[in-house]
Structure 1
Amino acid sequence: MRFRVASIALSACLSILLLSQPYTASAQTFVNGGAGKEPATLKAGVNFVWLSENDSQGLMFSNSFSHYLGDRLSLGLNLGLLSAKRYDDSKQIYTIQNTFYMGSLEAAFDVMQGEIVLLRLGAGPSFRHRAEINSDPEGQGTVDGSVTHIKTSDVGLHGFLENDFSILRNGVAGGRISYFHYKDGTPVLSIGMHLGFKF
């Protein structure tokens, strides 16, 4: 009889102890899907870009949002503004000036998950509106003296490799390598860093 009362009391104490923990690691993993991650992430990044056909270089500023659908798969949206130029030393002018407004839908898969570090591969469709000043346009745009103004929109695909490091309580920082290829116009290679938070 005493053993039965003691076991019931012990069971009740353990139940109270477990229920008093509002958000355990196992619950977080179940609710959020994998490796104790929060389900959504918002990040801002800055990237060095290289446009191969025009041999121009510059920077791209981007904002991205992603949400986990399961343990390793996430979907997201990435919006960016790219500015790149090419300077001709012999002519002493910028022969290429690029301004791109870019957007991409992304599906990503975590190939490595850790408590602090994540590594993911992703791809998806991409679109952009580009405004260019080009001295060698190959029959595009509107001619203005020695240069041509090009304003058009392109669709294509992109792929990326990205890593995230957890910082502080809900912060995230990391790096990203992306390649954008479009139906028309020069492709874009970008390498950069980002900072954001999980919620």
Structure 2
Amino acid sequence: MKFSVASVALSAFVTMLLLSQPHTASAQTFTNGGAGKERTSLKAGVNFVWLSENDSQGLMFSNNLSHYLSDRVSLGLNLGLLSAKRYDDAKQIYTIQNTFFMSSLEAAFDVMQGEIVTFRLGAGPSFRHRAEINSDPEGQGTVDGSVTHIKTSDIGLHGFLENDFGILRNGVAGGRISYFHYKEGTPILSIGLHLGFKF
């Protein structure tokens, strides 16, 4: 968690540093790339997540690198750390605690482009390593008193809807709604905001 918070802070600092630099002609050499002229973007995001099977909520911190292959099609890599919990008021304990290390490859298509705003749809394979403490694990993991520790990895798919707004010279900000489904373990719905820069 501390590492992800630090990475978000570092990304925000680098973004502000780059945005403060003078705009050069070389930044205008590309004629495509979504909401701006640049073909590559690096974004840091914070997302609220809901895990349906466990009925737990939390946050996911993510970093995304994407590159346009054509006017509307892009490929990207997304890395994230998720932490979610469920508190049982009757038992006065956290009956679910989730920590996921997540990575995804994604292909996206811009359904709407403009000089300032872009909307895109995307999907791709996803991988996660999860460490969970669960009071109702259905035969998984290692039992420790009234809870069970689970450490395993899952593969699956994810899809997303995202928008980007161009800010200042090379900055980008926006939001994303994502859904992750895996062969094992609970699916994830995430809604969040991101900030980054294009180059």
Give your verdict on TM over 0.5. yes
User: What aligned pairs does 1:1-199 form with structure 2 within 5 A after superposition?
Assistant: 27-29=29-31, 32-33=32-33, 36-199=36-199
**Letter aligned with residue 143 of structure 1:** V
Alpha-carbon offset, residue 168 of structure 1:
0.4
Kindly tell me: are residues 96 and 196 of structure 1, through their superposed partners in 2, closer, same or farther at Cα, counting changes over 3 Å? same
> Is the 1:162–1:175 Cα contact (8 Å) retained in structure 2?
yes
> What's the CA shift string for 1:2-53, capped at 9, x where partnerless?
xxxxxxxxxxxxxxxxxxxx5696x531xx4566520100000000000000
> Is the 2:56–2:86 Cα contact (8 Å) retained in structure 1?
yes
1:162, 1:131 → 2: CA distance?
28
Alpha-carbon offset, residue 104 of structure 1:
0.1
Say which structure, 1 or 2, has more relative contact order (CA 8 Å, 6+ apart). 2
Q: Secondary structure at the match of 1:54?
A: coil
Q: Secondary structure at the match of 2:38?
A: coil
Aligned to 1:6: none
Q: Say how many residue pairs are matched.
A: 176
**Letter aligned with residue 28 of structure 1:** F
> What's the CA shift string for 1:37-87, capped at 9, x where partnerless?
201000000000000000000000000000000000000000000000000
5+ residue gaps, structure 1: 1-21
Q: Secondary structure at the match of 1:38?
A: coil
**Letter aligned with residue 62 of structure 2:** S
**Letter aligned with residue 135 of structure 1:** S
5+ residue gaps, structure 2: 1-24
> What's the CA shift string for 1:123-167, capped at 9, x where partnerless?
000000000000000000000000000000000000000000000
Please provide the CA RMSD for this pair: 1.6
Q: Which runs of 4+ in 1 moved over 4 A?
A: 22-25, 32-36
**Letter aligned with residue 108 of structure 2:** A
TM-score, with structure 1 as normaliser = 0.85
> Is the 2:35–2:166 Cα contact (8 Å) retained in structure 1?
no
Kindly tell me: are residues 198 and 36 of structure 1, through their superposed partners in 2, closer, same or farther at Cα, counting changes over 3 Å? closer
Kindly tell me: are residues 28 and 90 of structure 1, through their superposed partners in 2, closer, same or farther at Cα, counting changes over 3 Å? same
**Letter aligned with residue 91 of structure 1:** K
